[in-house]
């Protein structure tokens, strides 16, 4: 039940019992993400000052080395999760290999792994456009007490226990699911508290926004080209509106609120698409499904793909259920032609 003026802290405590293996660990994990997000938010908000205080790689007035924001965000999330001894491993889009985390007593007693894209869409920072953090949480599959292995990270999305994103936009929001619907919390920067502002977020079944980088049209598979023509046709409730920020979190967030589809298909340039299955597609797919939407690679459910490597890519169709199904229909039709 959502209450007026409920804070994220209160919400987490109240909903902890809903977890099947509740030991408070997952709650602490979400808590530490919320903390790291505040720190990153503070830094992202200062990004416009970079020309004044020095660009990445320069030395600032305090004599400190300026960092690229995505590197900074990566470090902050890793640091926060490591210091609190909550997870046994982290994989990040920014790191080639996963990180093994052991407790102060050199044990490996924690049971969750986190996979994340610490600052997605970071090329948008230079132009003051919203960026985001995406995270995905799994229970480890190897025994507690032993170091994590690749197996712990290469799990299909349908085994996620939590996923979410932080959007650093006109306001900063944390949106997440633990498999019981999707809830959005807005940060009040004056006091550093997140409030439940978007309880039980839902994709409408139908929508009228499509989001895709149409500049790549000539490289798209025929099914996507056909679907785009369908979206643009002057029939029924169409043409749909085209909206593309080029920042996955922002595009999905808008479509979840307004109803729409996001597509990053395969192309002749990116035969497997551009987005990363583990850091981008799976967490967004979990959120989408929990919000009543759908996520597919054009033919099958994203969350049923068994990953083979950490940085694997996948074509991505995500959003309002009927729109994704319509796009799949066009993909199938073009394939069997
Ligand atoms: P990144 O992880 O390097 O930031 O790339 C992911 C981003 C997504 O946020 C966005 O939807 C997409 O790449 C945009 O790609 P493009 O510029 O090819 O349209
Ligand atoms: Mg990314």
Highest mean pLDDT among 4-18, 54-68, 165-179: 165-179
Q: Which residue has the higher pLDDT, 271 or 44?
A: 271
Asked if 111 contacts 25 with a C-beta cutoff of 8 angstroms, the reply is: yes
Query: How does residue 54 score in pLDDT terms, banded at 50, 70 and 90?
Result: very low
Q: Percent of the chain scored above 90 by pLDDT?
A: 74
Range 259-284 average pLDDT: 97
| Ligand 1 close to Cβ of residue 254 (< 6 A) | no
Spatial separation of the C-alpha atoms in residues 183 and 225, rounded to whole Å? 34
Per-residue pLDDT reduced to its tens digit, 273-328? 999 999 999 999 999 999 999 999 999 999 999 999 999 999 999 999 999 999 99
The pLDDT assigned to 103 comes to: 74
The pLDDT assigned to 208 comes to: 97
Ligand 1 atom at shortest distance from the alpha carbon of 121: 4
Dihedral-angle region of residue 332 (phi above 0 means left; psi in -120 to 50 means alpha; beta otherwise): alpha
DSSP for 101-143, written as a single string: ---TTS-----EEEEEEEEETGGGGGGT--EEEEEEEEE-SSP
Highest mean pLDDT among 2-11, 75-84, 229-238: 229-238
CA 83–ligand 1 middle distance (angstroms): 30
User: Which run of H or E residues covers position 162?
Assistant: strand 160-168
Q: How far is CA 111 from CA 17, 136, 176, 189, in A?
A: 18, 14, 20, 32
Residue nearest (by alpha carbon) to ligand 1 atom 11? 248
CA 163–ligand 2 middle distance (angstroms): 15
| Ligand 1 close to Cβ of residue 217 (< 6 A) | no
Residue nearest (by alpha carbon) to ligand 1 atom 3? 121
Residue nearest (by alpha carbon) to ligand 1 atom 12? 246
CA 266–ligand 1 middle distance (angstroms): 13
Q: For the ranges 64-68, 213-217, 243-247, which has the lowest average pLDDT? A: 64-68
Kindly list the domain boundaries of the chain, sorted by start residue: 8-198, 209-336
Whether pLDDT at 180 is above 90:
yes
Range 33-45 average pLDDT: 91
Q: How far is CA 192 from CA 53, 154, 172, 250, in A?
A: 25, 35, 11, 22
**What number of other Cβ atoms are within 10 A of residue 326's Cβ?**
17
| Ligand 1 close to Cβ of residue 219 (< 6 A) | no
| Ligand 1 close to Cβ of residue 297 (< 6 A) | no
- Omega of the bond leading into 239 within 30 degrees of 0 (cis): yes
Instruction: Residue 163: name the closest of 151, 155, 6, 316 by CA.
Output: 155
Spatial separation of the C-alpha atoms in residues 228 and 324, rounded to whole Å? 12
The pLDDT assigned to 278 comes to: 98
Second-level CATH architecture of 8-198: 2-Layer Sandwich (3.30)
| Ligand 1 close to Cβ of residue 265 (< 6 A) | no
Instruction: Residue 74: name the closest of 135, 140, 164 by CA.
Output: 135
Whether pLDDT at 51 is above 60:
no
Query: How does residue 55 score in pLDDT terms, banded at 50, 70 and 90?
Result: low
Contacts of 86 (CB under 8 A, 6+ apart): 25, 28, 29, 32, 110, 112
Whether pLDDT at 29 is above 70:
yes
The pLDDT assigned to 239 comes to: 98
Range 132-156 average pLDDT: 96
Range 77-95 average pLDDT: 92
Whether pLDDT at 113 is above 90:
yes
- Residues at the binding site for Mg(2+) are 93, 117, 119-120, 280
Per-residue pLDDT reduced to its tens digit, 185-244? 999 999 999 999 999 999 999 999 999 999 999 999 999 999 999 999 999 999 999 999
Pocket test for ligand 1, best of 70, 120, 166 (most atoms within 8 A of CB): 120
The pLDDT assigned to 205 comes to: 98
Whether pLDDT at 53 is above 50:
no
Asked if 113 contacts 89 with a C-beta cutoff of 8 angstroms, the reply is: yes
CA 248–ligand 1 middle distance (angstroms): 6
Nearest ligand to the C-alpha of residue 248? Answer: 1
Per-residue pLDDT reduced to its tens digit, 130-139? 999 999 999 9
Strand pairing report for 193-198 and 182-188: antiparallel
Spatial separation of the C-alpha atoms in residues 259 and 92, rounded to whole Å? 29
Asked if 328 contacts 230 with a C-beta cutoff of 8 angstroms, the reply is: no
Query: How does residue 19 score in pLDDT terms, banded at 50, 70 and 90?
Result: low
CATH topology of domain 209-336: D-Maltodextrin-Binding Protein; domain 2 (3.40.190)
């Amino acid at each position: 039940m959502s209450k007026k003026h409920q804070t994220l802290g209160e919400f987490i405590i109240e909903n902890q019992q809903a977890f099947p293996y509740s030991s408070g660990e997952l709650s602490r994990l979400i808590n530490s993400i919320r903390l790291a997000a505040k720190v990153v938010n503070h830094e992202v908000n200062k990004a416009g000052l970079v020309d004044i205080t020095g660009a990445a790689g320069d030395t600032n007035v305090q004599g400190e080395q300026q960092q690229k924001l995505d590197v900074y965000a990566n470090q902050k999330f890793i640091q926060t999760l490591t210091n609190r001894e909550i997870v046994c491993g982290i994989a990040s889009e920014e790191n080639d290999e996963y990180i093994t985390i052991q407790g102060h007593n050199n044990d490996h007693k924690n049971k969750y792994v986190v996979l994340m894209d610490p600052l997605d869409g970071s090329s948008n920072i230079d132009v003051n456009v919203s960026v985001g953090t995406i995270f995905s949480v799994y229970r480890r599959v190897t025994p507690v007490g032993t170091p994590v292995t690749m197996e712990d990270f290469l799990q299909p999305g349908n085994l996620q226990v939590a996923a979410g994103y932080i959007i650093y936009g006109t306001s900063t929001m944390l949106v997440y699911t633990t498999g019981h619907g999707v809830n959005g919390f807005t940060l009040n920067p004056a006091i550093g508290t997140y409030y439940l502002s978007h309880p039980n977020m839902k994709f409408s079944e139908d929508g009228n926004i499509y989001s895709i980088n149409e500049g790549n049209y000539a490289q798209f598979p025929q099914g996507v080209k056909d679907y785009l023509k369908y979206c643009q046709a002057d029939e029924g409730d169409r043409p749909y509106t085209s909206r593309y920020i080029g920042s996955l979190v922002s595009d999905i967030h808008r479509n979840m609120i307004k109803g729409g589809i996001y597509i990053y298909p395969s192309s002749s340039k990116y035969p497997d698409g551009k987005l990363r299955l583990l850091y981008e597609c799976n967490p967004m797919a979990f959120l989408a499904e929990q919000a009543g939407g759908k996520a597919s690679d054009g033919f099958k459910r994203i969350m049923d793909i068994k990953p083979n490597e950490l940085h694997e890519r996948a074509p991505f169709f995500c959003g309002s259920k009927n729109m994704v199904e319509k796009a799949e229909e066009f993909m199938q039709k073009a394939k069997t032609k």
